[in-house]
Structures are given as C-alpha cells and as structure tokens.
Amino acid sequence: MINSTKEFKMSKQKTSVKPQEFYDEYYSGFLDEDDRAYYRDIDTNLSNYPNNLPKGESFIGHWLIYLDSIHYYMIDHDNIEDNKKTLNQCVKIMKLLTPSLSGNDKTVFNEEMEQIPLLFKVLKKGYCISPQLLYLFVLINNELVKILSGEEYCKMQLPCEDSDFEFLTSHLSDPSTISFDSFVLDMDEVIELIKKNERWQKPDRDLNIYYQREKGRILQDIADDFNIVISAVSQVEKKVRGKINFWKGKIFEDFVEKRLKESRVFIKVIKEAGKGESDIRAYTKNNEQFIYSLKNLKIDRKPYWLITKEELLPELKDAKLCSLDYETHLILLVYDNHNKEVKQIEIDYNNVENIDLTTL
C-alpha cells in the first residue's frame, strides 16, 4: 500500500504535468523509467492540446479519443474542480463494484484503490489528473459492461453527468444486482472443518471410505479392505456425506453473509441458519427486508424440481409475517455444486409455485 510522504510543489498554472516524484511513486512497481516518461509525455500532450479540434480526430499520446463522452471530459473538463468531482465518483463506483470481483480483477481494483490518496494529493497541489482518470474510466467500464448491457450500459458508463451517476449508483446499490458468482467452494476447506469440528475416532479412515464409494467401489470390497462389515461401510458413507453437505452449506452461508455486508446495500445483516429459521435476513435503510434462503444442491439432471412449499417453509412463514412491518423480499440462492454456479431467484411468497432449477 502506498503511504506517500512526498510533498509536491504547488502548481502555478493549470497543467496535467505532475512533478517527476509523482510518476516515480504512482507508477512504481510495474513501470520502468522509460515507461514512466511515456506517461509524462501523455500528460504534456494533454496540457498542450487545443480545445477547438473536432472530436475523434487526434491522439493524446498514443490514446485515440474515440468516444464522445471521454473526449468531452478530457478536453472540456480538464480542470481541478471537475477532476476532483469525477475522482470521487470513481471511488464510489469502485467501492460498489469491488466486493463482487474475484481473481485478477479484484487485485487490479485493490491496487488502484491504494493509489487514490496520491491522486487526491496532487489535485490539492493544483495538478490535473485527466489521463489517470481515463485509466479508471476504462477499468470501471470494463466491469460495468459485464453487469449491464445495451442502452442501459451506454447510459451508465463513466464519465457521466450527475443525473446518470445517481442512476448508476442506485442501480448498483439495488440488492437484486448483488452478484454471488465469485463463490468458489474449496473441498480442502470442507475437509479441514470436518477434521476440526467432528469428533470421529477415525476421520481419515471414514473419509477414505467415502471417497472409495464416490469412485464406485462396491461395498463388499471396501468392507474387506478395512476389515469391517458391509453395514458399517454404508453407515460411514452416509455420515461423511451428511457432514460434507453440512459444512459446504456453512461455507456458502458465511460467503453470502460477508458478500451482503460488503455490498454496502444493507444497514444490518443477520445470519440465523438455525433449525426452523430463515438463513439470512438483511435490512435496507428504506425499511425493506430481504430474507435469503440458501441451498447447496447437485443439479445434475433435467428437470430438477425444488418443491418450494416443503423446502422453504421457514422462509415462507417469515416472509408473510414480516411483510406486515416491512416491504419484504424472499430470495432463493442455490449453489449448484455440479455446475459450480450460483442461481438466484426472487420467490413470490403470496403465490408459491414449485421451481425447475434447471431453467434458471
């Protein structure tokens, strides 16, 4: 993480050309001296860029300004006040997007978030940061296009005017847009939880028996190998499968709880997950309650029916009761451990129908 201690000189005129110390610090760790000079040249070209050229006809450095919105911002909004306003917009959108990211995307976003204080610092000293904002626009828009499409994306990409920005933030703050696609179930974690929490006399043997059955070995062969009776093999297999499914469910519950809290959509998130209780309740500042029912299923056949009234009875009862005090939404989240994906659907608790999960 950057912890800038350098004090930059105050700029005496409007310019995008920052002191050399900025380039050394901002691009340190991933650009050599020649590449840093290249980005300084881009800043220099922008500072010398004439305002009266037709849109789409020239380059800033080697970046072709091909989108009207970006060209408009780079040329007509290259000033401290607009830069600061747009940087604040970028930060807010990045905070909304980051929790749903995973892998390299999340790493890049986190690295850029660490650079934000330095951008604010040079702005305060009177240096424009339009070229650096252009990179943030690209970064953000690449993620937005994965969430949005068509006219909706065109309306909501950055940079944007205040009304569009409000529309964008409200959209990304909508609980129905929270993504759970980054969930990955680690079987090593499941096994470690079983060994840590289950008081089995022979955990390694029991797990081995389960895996042998999963590979298709017949009961008698396994019984002979472990010098136990066939009924014991069946009991061990049933016990291990039950605990694996139990801890898979717990891991998924913890992930969803964390994801809901990180989304910043809710003011309170409560994980219950007890017998006869809803799995998770979440409350918005607008007096809305979202009840989440979590399932861990192997959806390996078509159709795969979820018998809603039987499977969701605690949540259905809670939703109807809570609807007297809140605008209540009942959300079904299913981790399909066969296809390694999360399915999400809102249930109409006043008009309950069985669900074919293979159509979601």
User: Exposed e or buried b for every residue in 78-111, given b needs 16+ CB within 10 A?
Assistant: bebebbbebbebbbebbebbbbbbeeebeeebee
Report pLDDT for 62: 41
* Domain range list for the chain: 20-172, 187-359
- The token pair at 321 is 């009761």
Q: Considering only the C-alpha atoms of the chain, give the largest distance between any 2 of them, rounded to a whole number of Å.
A: 88
Better pLDDT: 347 or 164:
347
pTM above 0.75, yes or no: no
Whether the per-residue pLDDT at 59 is higher than 50: the answer is no
* pLDDT confidence tier of residue 61, bands split at 50, 70 and 90: very low
Which residues have a Cβ under 8 Å from the Cβ of 147 and sit 6 or more positions away? 172, 177, 179
Q: Quick one: fold of 187-359?
A: Trna Endonuclease; Chain: A, domain 1 (3.40.1350)
Mean of the per-residue pLDDT values for the chain?
84
Rounded-to-integer distance, Cα 231 and Cα 226, Å: 13
Least Cα distance to 334 among 352, 359, 302, 309 occurs for 359
Rounded average pLDDT over 4-23: 83
Q: Are 264 and 95 in contact (CB under 8 A)?
A: yes
Helix/strand/coil for 1: coil
* pLDDT confidence tier of residue 215, bands split at 50, 70 and 90: very high
Summarised one tens digit per residue, pLDDT across range 125-166 is 999 998 888 889 888 988 888 777 667 777 778 888 888 888
Which residues have a Cβ under 8 Å from the Cβ of 183 and sit 6 or more positions away? 252, 255, 335, 342
Report pLDDT for 273: 63
Report pLDDT for 329: 93
Rounded-to-integer distance, Cα 93 and Cα 172, Å: 8
CA distances to 160, 199, 292 from 261, rounded to whole Å, are: 27, 32, 13
Q: Are 280 and 319 in contact (CB under 8 A)?
A: no
Summarised one tens digit per residue, pLDDT across range 166-192 is 888 877 777 877 888 888 889 999 999
- The token pair at 69 is 């919105």
Summarised one tens digit per residue, pLDDT across range 69-95 is 556 667 678 889 999 999 999 999 998
